[in-house]
Copies of this chain bind each other. A is one copy, B any other.
Amino acid sequence: MKRLVSSDPGFAKAFARVVADRREADDDVSRDVRRILERVKAEGDEAIADYTERFDHWKLADDADWRIGAETCEAAYHALDGVLRDALELAAERVRRYHQAQLPERRDYRDEQGVRLGAIWRPVDAAGLYVPGGRAAYPSSLLMNAIPAKVAGVERLAVVTPTPRGDTNPLVLAAAHIAGVDEIWRIGGAQAVAALAYGTDRIAPVDVITGPGNAWVAEAKRQLYGTVGIDMVAGPSEILVIADKDNDAGFIAADLLSQAEHDPDAQSILITDDPEFADLVADRVGVELATLATRKVAEQSWKDHGLIIEVGSLDEVPALANALAAEHVELAVANPEPLLESIRHAGSVFIGRHAPEAVGDYVAGPNHVLPTGRRARFASGLSVLDFMKRTSFIELDADALTAIGPAAVALAEAEGLPAHARSVAVRLNRRRED
């Protein structure tokens, strides 16, 4: 853990280093991924089966090897412990309702020149969702990706998920049942992303691919951007907690560790205006770590990337927070509202002393897929819009064309596009002749 004091002479430089630190692997996997994509495009299912056997030690022969059926998901759902099932249902319901309110409206109006203008939002036909195997296979992540797609109106939602040596995660299958996933394919890695984008004999292509994955999956999505739509590239998770001294130091320490336990590259930052409170939190992090089952990961993250910044006043916070553009921001202060307004770059903000970030990961309703690595400067959390697209429309009658057409003719001619000009002019001339 690093500690910085904003009034120290070296602060600006040290803080700039934190902001510039990307914490992302620079493995050059792009050549490998390019080869995988090309092979899947050319050979389809055969390439998929080959890669799956090689990487996941899973043989794809019969239909049952390829897919997990709806009945298996339903069985997983019914086999769940009741408390857990209710928790998943509560989460799904709250996420569904928050995202339903995001649905954009159609526009359709006529302006004073008599031009009818508008835009229609529609869902994509099919979406693909990557669900990692192993440690990062989270049912909450499935809900957060699948529900917005379904709320958007996507008719076909196909999940790909690696099942190394045949292993599946019953919680994820139960979540797929709740979310109404239409297909689950037992494939993973760049080859699964390629199958979704290009389609194979078995797997119909999709229009949008979302969901977290390792470096190969992320690179495959990046290379296929344009062939399909994708969600934002994601890096390690991060939290910025703004806390005054009137907090329980144990609560704040728990919040910092909840981020740190995700990944050794995750980052937890505390900004406080009270040096003694900073000491208390630092101590409590140490105490909490001692009894944490995820200690190894959390300790590594806190050691390598943890940061406490002491400021002279909370007025210094917005500039620092905007430079960090953090994925999660907690405002555990007496008067959070001005900070909500002045922190312009953040994925999601948690307001007050009773809003630990973890409620947002599961049950609050807003999406937990959020921009990381300073991308909150330009990117947003996942929403129904990621699974929709907009068609604009324009209707003119002869009067409307007479009103605005001549300007189009003038501009088309000036741009050296005479056929553009002519397509308008012939109609204007006919009008004049009539």
Interface residues of A (CB under 8 A from B): 83-84, 86-88, 90-91, 94, 97-98, 101-102, 107, 111, 115-117, 119-120, 122, 124-125, 135, 138-140, 171, 207-208, 222, 225-226, 228-229, 232-233, 248, 250-251, 254-255, 257-258, 260-262, 288, 292-294, 298, 336, 340, 344-352, 354-367, 370-371, 375-381, 383, 385, 389-398, 400-401, 404-408, 410-412, 414-424, 426-427, 430
B407 adjacent to A87 (CB under 8 Å):
yes
Minimum Cβ distance to chain B for residue A177 (Å): 15
Residues of chain B within 8 A of A358, CB atoms compared: 408, 412, 417, 420-421, 423-424
Q: Are B292 and A119 neighbours in the complex by a CB distance under 8 Å?
A: no
Which residue in B124, B378, B392 is a CB contact (below 8 Å) of A347? B392
Known contacts A261-B420, A354-B400, A362-B412; is-contact A389 B376 (Cβ 8 Å): yes
Pick the most buried of A83, A87, A406: most chain B CB atoms within 10 A of its CB: A87
A135 → chain B, closest Cβ, in Å?
8
Given A348-B393, A354-B397, A363-B411, 20 other A-B residues pairs in contact with their CB atoms under 8 A:
A83-B410, A86-B407, A87-B406, A116-B351, A122-B344, A171-B415, A222-B222, A251-B423, A258-B419, A261-B417, A261-B419, A288-B422, A346-B391, A349-B392, A349-B393, A356-B427, A358-B412, A362-B411, A364-B394, A366-B393
Closest to A329 in B: B391
Q: Is the CB of B222 within 8 A of A225?
A: yes
For this chain, the copies found in one complex come to 2
- Chain B, residue nearest A83 (CB): B410
Flag if B404 contacts A391 (CB, 8 Å).
no
